[in-house]
Chain A
Amino acid sequence: GAVVSQHPSRVICKSGTSVKIECRSLDFQATTMFWYRQFPKQSLMLMATSNEGSKATYEQGVEKDKFLINHASLTLSTLTVTSAHPEDSSFYICSAWDRVNTQYFGPGTRLTVL
C-alpha cells in the first residue's frame, strides 16, 4: 500500500539552529501534503498545508517565517524549523492523500531543542 516516509525520525539540536524535516510519498504523487504538530498526550494540530509548486497555507497562529515549508516535487515536502527554541520541541507528523482518498501519515519526527 501507499507509504509516507519522514526523515529524520529523531533530531536533537541546539537553540538558535535550523532543522529540516523531509516528508516523502513513496509510491504515489501528492500535490498536497499536510504538516501536523503533536504535543504529548494531545491530539494532532494542523500547522500548514503544503502545495506543490505554490506557497504553503498556514493555520491561524502558526508563524510562516518560523516554519518554512517547501513542496518542490510531487513526492517531497520539507518543513524547516528556523532558529529553533526549546518551545519548538515537539512531534511533527506529515500526511498526504492518495488518489482513492485515503490519507497516509508519516511515522513522525521527534524534535528536541536544547
Chain B
Amino acid sequence: AQTVTQSQPEMSVQEAETVTLSCTYDTSENNYYLFWYKQPPSRQMILVIRQEAYKQQNATENRFSVNFQKAAKSFSLKISDSQLGDTAMYFCAFILTTDSWGKLQFGAGTQVVVTP
C-alpha cells in the first residue's frame, strides 16, 4: 500500500518570503504521479502542481515549484514570493498510473499562514 507523509502540521511565512513544504511517500511501484493541492478557507480543492514520476525535471508553475527526489521518495513544494492569498491547507497526493486514474492518496496536510 502507498502512504503519503506530511510532517509539518503548520508553517508560517511573511509576505514576499519563501516557504518549503515537505512530503515523503512510500511505494514499491515505479510509475506514478504526484500532486500538490491547495485548500483555501472556501474549502475548494485547487490543483497547484503535478509531477510525473518518469520526468526528471522538476515541475514549476509560476511561484510554485517542486523538488522531486525519486530515490529518496521526496516531493517538496516551494512557494516563492508568498502572498496573502496563499494562506491555505496544502495537501500532497499520490496516484499510481496503473490505477486507471482512480484513487488519490492524500497526506495529512500542512496549514500555511502568510502574514503581512
Q: Which A residues are within 8 Å of any B CB, using their own CB?
A: 32, 34, 38, 41-44, 46, 49, 91, 93, 95, 97, 101-103, 105, 107-108
Using A93-B45, A107-B44, A108-B43 as known contacts, say yes or no to A42 and B103 having CB atoms under 8 A apart: no
Question: Which of B22-30, B53-61, B104-112 participates in binding chain A?
Answer: B104-112
A44 to B90, CA, bound (A): 12
Using A43-B91, A43-B109, A44-B91 as known contacts, say yes or no to A91 and B43 having CB atoms under 8 A apart: yes
Contacts of B108 in A (CB 8 A): 42-43
The answer, yes or no, to whether B85 is at the interface (CB within 8 Å) is no
B102 CB contact (under 8 Å) in A49, A102, A108:
A49
The answer, yes or no, to whether B47 is at the interface (CB within 8 Å) is yes
Total residues of chain B contacting the partner, CB 8 A: 20
Whole-angstrom distance between the Cβ of A33 and the nearest chain B Cβ: 11
Is B43 a contact of A103 with CB atoms below 8 Å?
A: no
A46 to B43, CA, bound (A): 16
- The chain A residue with its CB closest to the CB of B100 is A32
Whole-angstrom distance between the Cβ of A110 and the nearest chain B Cβ: 8
Is A49 a contact of B91 with CB atoms below 8 Å?
A: no
- 3 shortest A-B CB distances, which residue pairs? A105-B45, A97-B101, A43-B106
Is A107 a contact of B106 with CB atoms below 8 Å?
A: no
Whole-angstrom distance between the Cβ of B48 and the nearest chain A Cβ: 12
A95 to B103, CA, bound (A): 10
A32 to B95, CA, bound (A): 15
Contacts of B45 in A (CB 8 A): 44, 93, 95, 105
Contacts of B47 in A (CB 8 A): 102-103
- 18 extra interface residue pairs, beta carbon distance < 8 Å, beyond A43-B107, A95-B45: A32-B100, A32-B101, A34-B103, A38-B43, A41-B89, A42-B109, A43-B91, A43-B108, A46-B103, A49-B102, A49-B103, A91-B43, A93-B43, A95-B104, A103-B47, A103-B101, A105-B37, A107-B44
The answer, yes or no, to whether B42 is at the interface (CB within 8 Å) is yes
Residues from 26 to 85 in B contacting A, C-beta threshold 8 Å = 33, 35, 37, 42-45, 47
